[in-house]
Structure 1
């Protein structure tokens, strides 16, 4: 394989996995460490990557967050599996809260606990829950964001002050060693208030969210009780999760075969 072909293949890998290291290049393309190192140097010269210690990552680009309904169509099987596992943690008699997130919506679709009380600021999740006779649903008031289909504003914050729930199911746009972040301040402020109202905070995040830093930070990792994901995070994030005693549940292919 010529270097140009290999560089294109490395970019494809990065688009799916966010980062690559020298040993990955050696394994995937059966080249020496020196060749892998030269590839990374060349890619940095071309502006294709930012080199890190022992590897490289894609340059940060402006974060594009598609409309909610478009995201729902695009979502992966991994996110559906994460949602299914989250739903299995809900017990009859629980009081739960669900933020506006496509992965959380997948959890809502799979809820079978009976009876159940749910609070949400998502008009789509409220619609899903309304079809389940065993669930009493409370839809928070406020101003509607028509693109991302959540309710926000002071009315939403004021109403949240009336609730205390057993579990909060929270989607994630970005997760780093510093915590959770989101592109929309209005949405982030509501999520921050939701965290205050829950006895257990459960984050649903597939591996593509790891290492992503969005505009508005809502909390540090110390505010999270459980992370449900599809792949083990990298060492740095794993160490911080352990430091803050965040329980980790990784959905595996073996789980899906059960």
Structure 2
């Protein structure tokens, strides 16, 4: 992009990348990197602050650390367990005989495992350590993606994992997510975001499993736009349902 002006969305993405690397960035540094005017950059910072993605300070912006905070796997599992169980059960109904599916390392996708069909020839690819163990106990054919183990979420991430995924194709992908807002799906960690985004591109159909607490929440890294997946949720208020259903398919749990 050197020597060329960027679109606002491109500038804002670069600002977030600069913040991820440096924690703090000056307005003039952003102007230099993006070839944007100071007024444009300040508008970008205001937009990103309103979304909760950064905090404006004198002369620039600093990272919003709450966007990167992520409970460990067991902390996540204790949050909204009944909703996750309902969502996991409903999501499993989409799996058909002989399907090849991808489960990412989320706690809601982990709730799917007990409801997946046995003895129907399905194959599950996962980057979740706990998922692979649970699948093996149920004698479901499982392919474990290899790579760098992320301690907190027990997820396999990194270049090696992406290289393996690049050779695979899925009938369906099931992804957990940290934030769902009008701009799309977000998650705190860039490495996990890369896995989710890559799996989505390799799948014929993608489902995002998100309990209602994730709606109108934003995390640090964009994964995909809303229309890239069907959302399975336990139940939404009429207001939330109305605001999101025009942009993507919403599937509420049928108890």
TM-score if structure 1 supplies the norm length?
A: 0.69
Residue 101 in 1 paired to residue 106 in 2?
yes
Deviation at 1:247, TM superposition (A): 2.4
Q: Is the 8 A contact 1:176 1:237 kept in 2?
A: no
| Bigger radius of gyration | 1
Poorly superposed stretches of 4+, deviation over 6 Å: none
Determine the C-alpha separation between the residues in 2 that align with 1:88 and 1:163: 23
Q: Is the 8 A contact 2:122 2:141 kept in 1?
A: yes
Q: 1:195 aligns to what SS in structure 2?
A: helix
Q: 1:1-258 to 2 correspondence within 5 Å?
A: 62-63=66-67, 64-113=69-118, 114-133=120-139, 135-224=140-229, 226-232=230-236, 235=239, 238-243=242-247, 246-252=248-254, 255=255
Determine the C-alpha separation between the residues in 2 that align with 1:247 and 1:220: 12
Determine the C-alpha separation between the residues in 2 that align with 1:143 and 1:76: 28
Deviation at 1:239, TM superposition (A): 4.3
Determine the C-alpha separation between the residues in 2 that align with 1:142 and 1:158: 10
* Cα distance, 1:251–1:210 mapped onto 2, change above 3 Å: same
Deviation at 1:240, TM superposition (A): 4.6
TM-score if structure 2 supplies the norm length?
A: 0.70
Determine the C-alpha separation between the residues in 1 that align with 2:160 and 2:73: 22
Where do 5+ consecutive residues of structure 2 fail to align?
1-49, 51-63
Q: Is the 8 A contact 1:166 1:200 kept in 2?
A: yes
Deviation at 1:207, TM superposition (A): 0.5
Q: 1:96 aligns to what SS in structure 2?
A: strand
* Cα distance, 1:237–1:180 mapped onto 2, change above 3 Å: farther
Q: What is the aligned-residue RMSD (CA, Å)? A: 2.1
Deviation at 1:72, TM superposition (A): 1.8
Where do 5+ consecutive residues of structure 1 fail to align?
1-49, 51-59
Determine the C-alpha separation between the residues in 2 that align with 1:233 and 1:210: 11
* Cα distance, 1:242–1:82 mapped onto 2, change above 3 Å: same
Q: 1:62 aligns to what SS in structure 2?
A: helix
Q: Is the 8 A contact 1:221 1:241 kept in 2?
A: no
What are the Cα deviations for residues 68-118 of structure 1, in whole angstroms up to 9, with x where unaligned? Answer: 023223442011111011112211111100011000000112212411101
